[in-house]
Amino acid sequence: MTAGARALLVGAGNWAQQFYAPLVSRASYLDSCAIWSRSTGRARDLAARFGMRVQDDLQSAAESADIVIFAVTPRAQADLAARIARPGVKFVLEKPLAPDAVECRALVEAVRAANVPVLHMLTYRFMPDFVALLEKLQSVSVRHVELSYRSSLYCDPIPGWRGPGTVLLDLGPHLLDLVSAIAGPISEVRAEYVAGHEIWCRLTHRDGATSSVLISPRDPSYSRRLMTLEVTTASGCTVTETETAFVRDARFSEYLDAALRRFCLEGNAVPGLGVDDGRLLMEVVDATQSALSTGRCVSISNQSENSEVH
């Protein structure tokens, strides 16, 4: 496909309004964008604001699209994407791919069977500081990673699918993906609750590196998000990056637009953000939940679809 692509946005909720609709409305590489949602009223409002066409039937809308962008709940995404997967279309899928590893595997099987290219949208991957950190660590052996995330994000009720018990599904994919991108695939997970609401993960990576991830999203003293990454290399050097607020600035938009352009026009996904990467990430999230529930170490087989508690 060399001409501009025809896009379909699935969903008209908060994330579609705040993120995807503005993104596709400014994308010069898209010839057109339609929108479908179970909430017809919200779809019409969003279409009027951003110049999109409202579609009443998802199946027919998907058949006339080159790329389908999902902005729905994990369970709806797993169901809808599996139903409309077909050769010739590309999917931009949100994190997490599905509400659990079982539904994730079913989605991945449907996508594979239809030979659908996938871009797993993990926005933290496009943070300028993290892009620079990955470039700095190229060809460097990593010994240990410390990641700390603090915010007041969950202090108040959040509309949509995010609610009590969903912190790991919401923030876990972002943060576990970051340490995986730095230190390699995760092979073992230990996790526990700290101070009642914080999640502390201790991870072993396939190549022998270790990492620690602290998720504290109910800290009222942090009105803005604070994320700190400390990487220790095999030679003992320490590299520290602090993101005081996740701001979608010009560089973020530049990185994201370039990745989406390549994917739409050429089918080239960002390394680490394909459908199999998303499945493995869901396995890690599930293993973390199991470790939290049982207090035991959970091993992850990156070659199979099973985790083992021991």
- C-beta separation of 101 from 52 below 8 A: no
Q: Where are the beta strands (DSSP E) in 198-285?
A: 198-205, 210-216, 226-233, 238-243
Q: Would the pLDDT of 230 be above 90?
A: yes
- Taking the C-alpha atoms of residue 3 and residue 286, their distance in angstroms, rounded to an integer, is 40
Confidence class for position 177, pLDDT limits 50, 70, 90:
very high
What average pLDDT does range 43-71 have in this prediction?
97
Close Cβ partners of 180 (under 8 Å, ≥ 6 residues apart): 186, 205, 272, 281, 284
Element (H, E) at 128: helix 128-136
What average pLDDT does range 96-118 have in this prediction?
96
In this prediction, residue 2 carries a pLDDT of 42
- C-beta separation of 107 from 253 below 8 A: no
Q: Would the pLDDT of 247 be above 50?
A: yes
In this prediction, residue 159 carries a pLDDT of 62
In this prediction, residue 160 carries a pLDDT of 62
pLDDT digits over 108-154, tens only? 999 999 999 999 999 999 998 888 899 999 889 999 999 999 988 78
Closest CA to 213 of 196, 237, 230, 225: 230
pTM (whole model) above 0.85: yes
In this prediction, residue 309 carries a pLDDT of 47
pLDDT > 70: what percent of the chain? 92
Confidence class for position 166, pLDDT limits 50, 70, 90:
confident
pLDDT digits over 250-285, tens only? 889 999 999 999 999 888 878 899 999 999 999 999
Q: Would the pLDDT of 192 be above 90?
A: yes
What are the CA-CA distances from residue 73 to residues 14, 30, 207 (Å)? 11, 25, 34
